[in-house]
Chains A and B, each alone.
Chain A
Amino acid sequence: MTARFSVGIDLGTTNSVVAYARLDGELLPGQTPALSLLPIPQFVGPGQIESRMSLPSFLYLPRDGEIDSLQLPGVDDPASGVGGVYARSQAADNPQRVVMAAKSWLCHSGAGRTELALPWQSPTEVRKVSALQCTERLLAHLVAAWHTAHSDAPLGNQQVVLTVPASFDPAARDLTRQAAVAAGLPDDFVLLEEPQAAVYRWLASRGDSWRKTLGEDDLLLVIDVGGGTTDLTLVGVDQADGELTLKRLAVGNHLLLGGDNMDLALAHLVGMKMQADGHELDPWQNVSLWHACRDAKEQLLAADGPQTQTVAVLGRGSSLIAGTITTELSREEVQTLIVDGFFPHCVATDRPQRSVASGFQDIGLPYEADPAITRQVAAFLGNQKQSNGQSKSAQPTHVIFNGGVFRSPALQDRMLDVIGSWNKQSPVVLGGQADLDTAVAIGAAYYGWSKQSGGIRIRGGTSRSYYVGIETAGLAIPGMSRPLRALCVAPRGMEEGTEVAVPSDEIGVVVDQPARFRFFSSTTRPHDAVGTKLDRWAADELVESDPIELNLTTDNAGETPYVPVRFVSRVTELGMFELWCRATRSEEQWKLEFNIRESDE
């Protein structure tokens, strides 16, 4: 059955959005299809279903007595978790029963991905889930919402594009794929990097006329600051055979730093003021303070915003007025805390500071130590200087902002000022303010349509180079691990649908026990070719991911205790990186799998 819709799914850290376009519509040449958002029925309270245009990516693990009132058609078994607005509201009163930011746990190799460890540090009577299960639950909810609206077009038959952060490593992509297929997405769904989706959103709004805005050698920087993460991507404009083409040049590392951090920082400031006045806030009030601060931030940072704004938190009990606490927040305070705190002026050679103590550590995820997004951008652009062969940092000519944070023009302006101070001129902003929260889903749906109809595609291949760690056969010294070498198994920019045999010595895989290899990636070594061996590297050049392993039995080996193999790297048409071992003495080959069992760590 041929696909009738292209469906773009933005599974966000804090909000998920689904957009779609018809594939069978009649369009004039150069015309783009109508792109719509999918309403998502969800619980807003026990027994109360509302349709919203986004699904908060929170999973609430209900009490036994509530389960009957949380039965949503199409989403079985509420006991294993309920997503959406109700789950988000429960995060205030019952945080021990709510899984937040499951997506950040997915790419965090510490714990909780496949282990039943979430909600993190919750009491024993609360049912536990893994980040993988949580992701599957939320996706299954989105699938049910699709079937509610389109019962005659099963999602399994549609062209589905699911977005992931550009900074997701292969293991996190693999987990996302597993969760998605288990949730009912078709096997051949496509993974698309979120910042690229934001670029497609802009392309969708321009049609063919984007070529009038961008020219050869232009450099487009996508700054995507979501609720919980910041994702950076650099896209270059090339000319080939007289046609302009777009190529994704680089992506940044995974930064656990987002808009929520800014709102929380502001809420913390206001909370301290209220405390100084003798008021203690309970958790529910803290959350309403958080929302009040977000609104106040947006108003105070608006172009013609007021000088001060009253922030009020209503009383918790049924006596509302007597318990209401108010305080004033001034434009200067917000300017200092948010604009100067998260977007400070800095020079191109500044780098994020590592040693700043962070109070967030105890909640399990490795949040960024330095909240300065401008310094993160400076480091990202600085890392690209090796790739452009120049001694200077990459100089973007255009910027696309994504994420609700940038609804405040003051933050866009500051970011542009800072980048402009590094270059000769400020970059030009592409795209509008209208859909900062929905651009990724809409761009993904447009990409799916474009893939079917042969429209523009951003080329790029793998965003990093990949390495396997091989222990050298040096003299063993007691108490010392053998020196480690890194063998490059895939260069950066390896294209979808290609495969490359890794030139190397034969590697003996011992049978009947797992052969495990340490696995690394790098965003900063664009010139390593496949087969390159590294004897040493700077600590931040290679980032270690989960080990990758293979388990061969005697059936594979015949009479010898080991099988000699060489590595083969593949990037599938769907954007998945795979590492295979090919026997040197037969035609056999085996795929290595990422080992994500936390107990081994």
Chain B
Amino acid sequence: MALGTAFRAFFAALFDAAAAERIGAAIDSAAPVPPPAGSTAGMIVESAPPQTPVAPQSVQPLRSDAIALLGVLQREARFVDLVKENLAQFSDAQIGAAARPCLQQCASALDRMVGLVPIESSPDGSIVSVAESASAAHYQWIGEGESASGKLVHHGWTASKVELPHWTGNRVDAMVVAPAQIKRG
């Protein structure tokens, strides 16, 4: 059972910052930690705010999420190779030929990891109304007036999840986006 809890804590900590905080607090204080609301026995702990205020344990993750994301895009789509190219020396057709598979694979990797969806589902140019409670981060006004509705210029994007790969490596390797590859023989 202890081993099972350890695995569960390990993965919960990996995949969920809030859970990591709770687990960190539990280890540090040895005090019982209330389960998050809505979690059921046996299920992966869903992200939920801790119910008791705990002192933030500023545990810096070893590798930044940005490096993790770049690592995936490079591994699956060669994204870093493409953006680091000197575009001046290639024709549009050459760039297009390389960009097509790269962009397609970027799209499928992003779909899997962050699940990009439009904030507003109506087509561009249609009239949409904005709830009074909507945040400025979600809806940005262009132009003046009192009206709660307007013409949609851009539907916006939001991530529907964040599922980045988890890093088990050490500090020395934490900045590596892609390894150098050397062939023997």
B166: chain A residues within 8 A (beta carbon): 41, 48-50
State how many residues of chain A have any CB contact under 8 Å with chain B: 40
- Contact (Cβ within 8 A) A310 B165: no
Instruction: Give chain A nearest CB distance to B40 CB in angstroms.
Output: 10
A205 lies within 8 A of chain B by Cβ: no
Nearest chain B CB to A483 CB, angstrom units: 54
Query: A4 to B8, alpha carbons, bound, how many Å?
Result: 19
Q: Does A147 sit at the interface, judged by CB under 8 A?
A: yes
A425 — which chain B residues lie within 8 A by C-beta? none
A-contact 0/1 string along B40-61, CB 8 Å cutoff: 0111100000000000000000
**Is B4 a contact of A152 with CB atoms below 8 Å?**
yes
The complex places the Cα of A71 from the Cα of B167 at a distance, in Å, of 11
B165 / chain A contacts, CB cutoff of 8 Å: 44-45, 48-50
How far, in angstroms, from A98 to B175 measured CA to CA in the complex? 28
- Minimum CB distance partner of A323 in chain B: B98
Cβ-based interface call for B18 (8 A): no
Q: CB-nearest residue of chain A relative to B101?
A: A312
Identity of the chain B residue whose Cβ is nearest the Cβ of A318 in the assembled complex: B81
Among residues 14 to 49 in chain A, which have CB atoms less than 8 Å away from a CB atom of chain B? Answer: 39, 41, 44-49
Q: Does B141 contact A (CB under 8 A)?
A: no
Interface check A321, CB cutoff 8 A: yes
Q: Which 6 A-B pairs have the closest CB atoms?
A: A47-B169, A151-B4, A320-B81, A324-B98, A48-B165, A50-B165
Q: Is the CB of B168 within 8 A of A49?
A: yes
Hey, which chain B residues are within 8 Å of A39, CB to CB? Answer: 44
B44: chain A residues within 8 A (beta carbon): 39, 149
Q: Does B78 contact A (CB under 8 A)?
A: yes
User: How many Å from the CB of A191 to the closest CB on chain B?
Assistant: 26
0/1 string, A458-501, CB within 8 A of B gives 1: 00000000000000000000000000000000000000000000
Assembly CA distance A173 to B81 (angstroms): 47
Q: What are 9 A-B pairs with beta-carbon distances under 8 A?
A: A4-B42, A44-B75, A46-B169, A71-B168, A151-B5, A151-B8, A152-B4, A295-B104, A315-B98
Inter-chain contact B90/A321, CB cutoff 8 Å: yes
B23 at interface, CB cutoff 8 A: no
Indicate with 1 or 0, residue by residue over A69-92, a CB within 8 angstroms of chain B CB atoms.
Answer: 101011000000000000001000
Interface string of B64-101 (1 = CB under 8 A from A): 00001001100100100110110100100011011011
In the docked arrangement, what's the CA distance between A48 and B173, Å? Answer: 12
Judge whether B157 is part of the interface by a CB distance below 8 angstroms: no
Q: Contact between A150 and B181 (Cβ–Cβ < 8 Å)?
A: no
Known: A48-B68, A312-B97. A150 touches B169 (CB 8 A): no
A292 CB within 8 Å of chain B: yes
In this assembly, does B139 line the interface, its C-beta being within 8 Å of a C-beta of chain A?
no
| Cβ of A322 under 8 Å from chain B | yes
Residue of A nearest to B176 (CB): A47
Interface: B152 (CB within 8 A): no
- Judged by a CB distance under 8 angstroms, whether A319 is at the interface is yes
Chain B residues near A322: list those with CB within 8 A: 90, 94
Interface residue B116 (Cβ < 8 Å from any Cβ of A) = no
The answer to whether B168 touches A69 (Cβ under 8 A) is yes
Q: How many A-B residue pairs have CB under 8 A?
A: 105
- Contacting residues, chain A, for B179 (C-beta < 8 A): 46
Q: Produce 1/0 per residue, A418-455, CB < 8 A to B.
A: 00000000000000000000000000000000000000
What CA separation (Å) do A74 and B8 show in the bound complex? 10
**Residue A148 interfacial (CB < 8 Å):** yes
Q: Are A73 and B10 in contact (CB under 8 A)?
A: yes
Q: B67 CB to closest chain A CB, in angstroms?
A: 10
* 13 further interface pairs, Cβ-Cβ under 8 Å (given A51-B163, A321-B85, A322-B94): A44-B75, A46-B169, A48-B165, A49-B14, A50-B163, A50-B166, A51-B15, A69-B168, A149-B44, A151-B4, A312-B101, A315-B98, A321-B87
A115 to B82, alpha carbons, bound, how many Å? 45
Contact B102 A314 (CB under 8 A): yes
Distance in angstroms between the alpha carbons of A49 and B102 in the assembled complex: 23
Cβ 8 A contact of A321, one of B10, B72, B94: B94
Min C-beta distance of A475 to chain B, whole Å: 60
B136 to chain A minimum Cβ distance, whole angstroms, is 34
Other-chain residue from B7, B98, B181 in contact with A312 (beta carbon distance below 8 A): B98
CA distance A73 to B8 in the complex (A): 10
Within the complex, the shortest CB–CB distance from B164 to chain A, in Å, comes to: 8
Interface status of A280 (Cβ within 8 A of chain B): no
* A573 located at the interface, meaning its Cβ lies under 8 Å from any Cβ of chain B in the complex: no
* Assembly CA distance A474 to B75 (angstroms): 68
A187 within 8 A of B: no
Q: Does A153 contact B (CB under 8 A)?
A: yes
> In the bound complex, do residue A150 and residue B42 qualify as a contact, i.e. CB atoms below 8 Å apart?
yes
CB distance from A36 to the nearest CB of B (A): 10
Q: Kindly state the separation between the CA atoms of A89 and B5 in the bound complex, as whole angstroms.
A: 32
Q: A93 in the interface, Cβ–Cβ < 8 Å?
A: yes
Q: Is residue A358 contacting chain B, with contact meaning CB distance below 8 A?
A: no
Instruction: Say whether B85 contacts A320, CB under 8 Å.
Output: yes
Residues B71 and A151 in contact, CB atoms below 8 Å apart = no
Cβ of B82 and Cβ of A153 under 8 Å apart?
no
In the complex, A326 has a CB within 8 A of chain B: yes
Bound form: Cα–Cα A39–B161 in Å = 15
8 Å CB contact of B101 from A44, A45, A292: A292
A-facing residues in B92-128 (Cβ within 8 Å): 94-95, 97-98, 100-102, 104
Instruction: From the candidates A47, A152, A313, A319, name the one contacting B168 in the complex (CB within 8 A).
Output: A47
Whose C-beta in chain B lies nearest to the C-beta of A86? B75
Which residue on B lies nearest to A49, using beta carbons? B166
**Chain B contacts of A4 at CB under 8 A?**
42
* A320 to B104 Cα, complex, angstroms: 15
A312 and B87 alpha carbons, distance in the complex (Å): 18
Given contacts A49-B168, A152-B42, contact A73 B7 (CB under 8 A): yes
